[in-house]
Structure 1
Amino acid sequence: MPKKPVSFDGEVILNSVTACVFVIAPDSTIKFVNTSGEQLLQASAKYLEGRPLEEYIPADSPVHALIAQARTDRSNVSENSITIESPRIGKHLVNAHASPLIEDPSLIILTMTKRSLADQIARQLKHRSAARTITAMSAMLAHEIKNPLSGIRGAAQLLETTASDEDKPLTKLITDETDRICALVDRMESFSDGRPIKREAVNIHQVLEHVRQLAQNGFGKHVRFTEQYDPSLPPVFGNKDNLIQIVLNLVKNACEAAIHDTAKITLTTAYQHGVRLAVPGSNTRVHLPLLVSIQDNGPGIPDDLRNQLFEPFVTTKAKGSGLGLALVAKMIGDHGGLIECESEPNKTIFRLMLPMYSEKHHGPLTV
């Protein structure tokens, strides 16, 4: 029996796309908005229609100049990486496109696509590239540095047996420094292990609670922890020990950054739809619906370090090695996940997007 022809409803199609679509009248009021546009402006279409766009996007935003240019030139215009910000909608980075409606050029079709997810994926690929670079470096360092260091340390210990009391602090300095360099190389060696990690279903809340207890009994005694957990969250497809190391590193950094007298860290879990990451060399896409956030109230990360935060030897600490976050990025990459950082004064958030365990596939949920 032949199938009935599919009936296409333009409004239904527009409401199904992830881009925010608006139709703007000559007086800059909103004539139409799709579902994604409702989510961006945080109001319903019924409420938004007939209201000035300036109520939600400030008049000095490049978006308005883009609309004006499209209307004046009667041509399509685009601009990438526009920041739109207002108290009503918050701050968003978007790519914007404006074009006149063919039937009525006085009406402008404005489409805006959020850049956040695309940027996360691009940065994640950069993180993995940095991890591969440090993998090769660590293998070389382990061979070329550790062997001579053991000889230097042995010679210093031998000298200490015959050194005067005045010179013994110098021999101790040599042994201490060689131990410190060896420890640094040992940390770098963890990057050179290219074997696939053993993964299984892991309760992420058990991981978070384990790390929280470690922190509150040690380096985080001064911190007030707040948990905002989604108890219905499915298991992560991951390695429990690695996940503990990832979260422990991030929580320790947050404890050190948090303002001491009012130090506060918020641990959050949530389920988010629509985040997928392509598996290299295949048409498979892994769902990354499990969101774990670690937020502190510290001074924030300097702007000049934010884009290089997960690269090796980049650190905000006076005595830091700059390998902790690089290792975190590598382990998140080993899980097939994403890591993102958002920072401003009194608010730094690290977000982990992780794959969920699928009982049907005995592995990650894919499409």
Structure 2
Amino acid sequence: MTPDPAPATAYAGLDLLATSVLALDAEGRIRHANPAAENLLESSLKALLRQTLATLFTNAAELSALCAQALATPTADFRQDLALERAGREPLHVHSIVSAQGVDDVIIELRENVQQLKLDREERMLDQSQVNKELIRNLAHEIKNPLGGIRGAAQLLELELPPLHLAALREYTQVIIKEADRLQTLVDRLLAPHRRPHIVGDVNIHEVLERVRSLILAEFPQGLAIRRDYDASLPEFRGDKEQLIQAVLNIAHNAAQALAERIAAGDAEIVFRTRVARQVTLAKVRYGLALDLHILDNGPGIPPSIRDHIFYPLVSGRDGGSGLGLTLAQTFVHQHLGVIECESRPGSTDFRILLPLP
């Protein structure tokens, strides 16, 4: 039986709240949902009025138990972090606050647990990075051995060609040799982060950014401005300066290439922004201080089709790209116990690097 909707004025105040609120009767049927709850649950008030917690969430038992406790103890509210699972959709990580209103109504406030979402995203990225690392290493070694054989066979074949046909056929053997060399270079780039030792020293992040800035402006001297927005109070930290230069350079160079149209128009901009972040959790470890580095550009944004896969190896958003720049940047950042994130929309792309500070 569909519950009667609440009178229009009974919960009018709830509609003004930014947090999601559900009003339930004593049988657990939804009487009202404010607009924020409609957005959170991706469902209209009309549709929600036909449901109970058990039909909304596949694991509603904990939330239903909180409702029962609230009805039994009207003077108290009950709080709990929950992961509310929904059929065919991502779980909702929320902080729930449940309280009774009168003798037969329950109010449930659901606040998205942003920190939990962030931790889950970082964990997925770390797992993805580890899988990428193993995939790249194994694939590169599998490719490397036959490449040497192909190149050597082409060289021997060239030596065996009859002089009469050498000039005509040498073109084909050279194609084989050059393509084998090109693939060998690609394999060496794939293996580079795993071969090179991690050289640790004192790093000033602003020296890293100034080096990258000079390299980018040398390649794009006209039409591109690289603006500094530095926090001079940032301390030095222990790290591999060359790896960090390469990580930032890969991101900034990608940004400059994506800004081709704006560079031609003369209004392309990249911003290097540094800040201190406090009480940051990276890879499930809590740090009091962290470097918060943003590399922003006013380009067209990352295509939606690859936005969730940009750190995968060999994924590129432009013709001729190797798809290795961001993969290597992620590897170098993770070797410094940090994380790299990206938010992008047309007109604004923001790569954020977080690194622990002493």
Question: What is the TM-score when the length of structure 1 is the normalising length?
Answer: 0.68
Match of 2:128 in 1: 126
CA distance in 2, matches of 1:64, 1:164: 70
2:277 counterpart of 1:272: yes
Q: Displacement of 1:64 after TM fit?
A: 9.0
CA distance in 2, matches of 1:164, 1:157: 8
Match of 2:112 in 1: 112
- Cα distance, 1:136–1:164 mapped onto 2, change above 3 Å: closer
CA distance in 2, matches of 1:320, 1:64: 38
CA distance in 2, matches of 1:167, 1:186: 29
Match of 2:93 in 1: 95
Q: How does 1:125-144 map to 2 (within 5 A)?
A: 125-142=127-144, 144=145
- Cα distance, 1:194–1:166 mapped onto 2, change above 3 Å: closer
CA distance in 2, matches of 1:220, 1:165: 44
Match of 2:340 in 1: 339
CA distance in 2, matches of 1:192, 1:80: 39
Give the 3-state SS of the residue equivalent to 1:255 in structure 2: helix
CA distance in 2, matches of 1:303, 1:324: 19
Question: What is the TM-score when the length of structure 2 is the normalising length?
Answer: 0.69
Match of 1:27 in 2: 12
How many residue pairs get aligned? The number is: 296
Preserved CA contact (<8 Å) 2:229 2:273: yes
CA distance in 2, matches of 1:164, 1:147: 23
Aligned amino acid, residue 122 of structure 1:
R
Q: Displacement of 1:152 after TM fit?
A: 4.6
CA distance in 1, matches of 2:109, 2:252: 45
Q: How does 1:237-252 map to 2 (within 5 A)?
A: 237-252=238-253
CA distance in 1, matches of 2:243, 2:342: 19
Q: Displacement of 1:216 after TM fit?
A: 0.4
CA distance in 2, matches of 1:174, 1:145: 13
Give the 3-state SS of the residue equivalent to 2:111 in structure 1: strand
CA distance in 2, matches of 1:286, 1:156: 60
* Structure 1: runs of 5 or more not aligned: 1-24, 38-52, 82-92, 359-367
Percent sequence identity over aligned pairs? 29
Preserved CA contact (<8 Å) 1:271 1:289: yes
CA distance in 1, matches of 2:213, 2:196: 30
CA distance in 1, matches of 2:149, 2:13: 72
CA distance in 2, matches of 1:347, 1:27: 38
Structure with greater helix percent = 2
Q: How does 1:314-353 map to 2 (within 5 A)?
A: 314-353=315-354
- Cα distance, 1:135–1:164 mapped onto 2, change above 3 Å: closer
Pick the aligned partner of 1:62 from 24, 40, 58: 40
The CA RMSD over aligned residues, in Å, is 3.8
* Structure 2: runs of 5 or more not aligned: 1-9, 20-32, 54-63, 68-81
- Cα distance, 1:64–1:278 mapped onto 2, change above 3 Å: closer
- Cα distance, 1:151–1:247 mapped onto 2, change above 3 Å: same
Aligned amino acid, residue 239 of structure 1:
D
Match of 1:253 in 2: 254
CA distance in 2, matches of 1:194, 1:339: 21
CA distance in 2, matches of 1:315, 1:227: 27
Residue deviations 1:111-132, cap 9 Å, x none? 3211234313322321222112
CA distance in 1, matches of 2:118, 2:44: 21
2:178 counterpart of 1:180: no
Q: Displacement of 1:211 after TM fit?
A: 0.5
CA distance in 1, matches of 2:300, 2:161: 45
Preserved CA contact (<8 Å) 1:286 1:355: yes
- Cα distance, 1:325–1:28 mapped onto 2, change above 3 Å: same
Match of 2:71 in 1: none
Q: Displacement of 1:100 after TM fit?
A: 3.5
Q: Displacement of 1:251 after TM fit?
A: 0.8
CA distance in 2, matches of 1:160, 1:318: 37
Residue deviations 1:299-338, cap 9 Å, x none? 2222221222111121112212222221112111111110
Larger RCO of the pair (alpha carbons < 8 Å, separation 6+): 1
